[in-house]
């Protein structure tokens, strides 16, 4: 990887009183697959909308390929491909005709357009269904046509917003392989958002985690996972006992112990409290915590061990699942 192809400096986007993206700065290197993860409403789609010239930032600057997304939007649009979360296809047109339409929108024509359409269909393994109306294709095939539409202009930078939502395992794996091949063989830079942690772990060189409009972590998947050390243990209790939490935090195999925020219950009943134990070593910490509860005659309503992985990192940083 060489120089940054995307640079965001103090990017903020407001909609009235709502701050959707709050003073974030990051860069994406040329040739990198960069993951952007966050719960629903975290600001991912808004950030992408600014980077792809759909909306101007309220403040701050964003450049793609050295071009400012506001002042030089035309140059940016020529070098990017966008694959939105929602299918952007005409259902009664064939896969080929959809790609021709999008190619013409990019100013392509003649033999160049024909070659680009053929290449894009081959890239997503749909050359044999080129003349099929999109509405007759399976959900996975539609997603692959959607991806092909983002490739028809041969972009330098590709934005993929949840490209595997609702697809079958075969098409999902094919999308993975396509992204990896585009990055490996063409050096294509990719910004990838997903609700599936295993996708991010497999595909992304670096990952930014965004929540409430702010980037709260940015590193390689391995380094993010290493943040947790020995893992996390969640212990369900009927009520908070701060003295017990303080004692748990002093155990040799424990780094810290704190109560998670109270989650509202659906039926109005009192919510249980969850003690989050950050472990140096999960098995040793679990033994020590169980012994502490026994000595204090405290009840455990539930025990859950979260092994170090990207999912547990996300829960640790945001306190919620990726789809919340």
Q: Is residue 317 assigned to a domain? A: no
Query: Structural domain of residue 155, as residue ranges?
Result: 4-225
Q: Is residue 312 assigned to a domain? A: no
pLDDT of 323 strictly over 60: no
Residue 207's nearest CA partner among 66, 82, 31, 38 is: 38
CA dihedral in degrees (211, 212, 218, 222; nearest 10)? Answer: -10
Structure confidence at residue 41 (pLDDT): 85
pLDDT of 293 strictly over 50: yes
Say whether both 19 and 101 belong to one domain.
yes
Residue 235's nearest CA partner among 313, 307, 299 is: 299
For 32-90, the pLDDT digits (tens) are 999 999 888 889 999 999 999 999 999 999 999 999 999 999 999 999 999 988 888 99
Bridge partners of 208, per DSSP, are 36, 218
Residue 64's nearest CA partner among 82, 49, 80, 81 is: 80
- Cα gap 283→268, rounded to integer Å: 35
CATH of residue 30's domain is 3.40.50.300
Whether this prediction's pTM lies above 0.85 is answered by no
Q: Is residue 295 assigned to a domain? A: yes
Q: What is the mean pLDDT of the chain?
A: 90
Q: Last residue of some domain: 206, 225, 244?
A: 225
What total number of domains does the chain contain? 2
Compute the radius of gyration of the chain from its Cα atoms: 23
């Amino acid at each position: 990887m060489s120089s940054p192809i995307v640079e965001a400096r103090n990017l903020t986007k407001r909609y009235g009183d709502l701050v959707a993206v709050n003073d974030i700065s990051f860069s994406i290197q040329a040739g990198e697959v960069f993951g952007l993860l966050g719960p629903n409403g975290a600001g991912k789609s808004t950030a992408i909308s600014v980077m792809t010239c759909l909306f101007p930032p309220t403040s701050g600057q964003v450049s793609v390929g050295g071009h400012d997304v506001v002042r030089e939007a035309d140059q940016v649009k020529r070098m990017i491909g966008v694959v939105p979360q929602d299918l952007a296809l005409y259902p009664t047109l064939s896969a080929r005709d959809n790609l021709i339409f999008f190619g013409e929108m990019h100013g392509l024509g003649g033999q160049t357009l024909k070659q680009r359409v053929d290449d894009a269909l081959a890239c997503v393994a749909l050359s044999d269904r080129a003349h099929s109306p999109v509405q007759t294709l399976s959900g996975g095939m539609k997603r692959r046509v959607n991806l092909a539409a983002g490739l028809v202009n041969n972009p330098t930078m590709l934005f993929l917003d949840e490209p595997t939502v609702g697809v079958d395992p075969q098409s999902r794996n094919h999308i993975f392989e396509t992204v990896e091949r585009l990055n490996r063989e063409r050096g294509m830079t990719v910004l990838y958002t997903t609700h599936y942690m295993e996708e991010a772990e497999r595909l992304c060189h670096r990952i930014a985690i965004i929540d409430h409009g702010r980037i709260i972590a940015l590193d390689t998947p391995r380094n993010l996972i290493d943040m947790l050390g020995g893992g996390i243990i969640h212990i369900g209790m009927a009520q908070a006992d701060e003295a017990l939490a303080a004692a748990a935090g002093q155990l040799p195999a424990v780094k810290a112990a704190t109560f998670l925020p109270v989650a509202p219950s659906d039926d109005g009943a009192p919510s249980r409290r969850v003690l989050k134990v950050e472990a140096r070593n999960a098995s040793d910490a679990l033994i020590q915590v169980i012994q502490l509860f026994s000595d204090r005659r405290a009840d455990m309503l539930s025990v859950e061990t979260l092994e170090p992985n990207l999912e547990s990192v996300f829960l640790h940083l945001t306190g919620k699942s990726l789809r919340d």
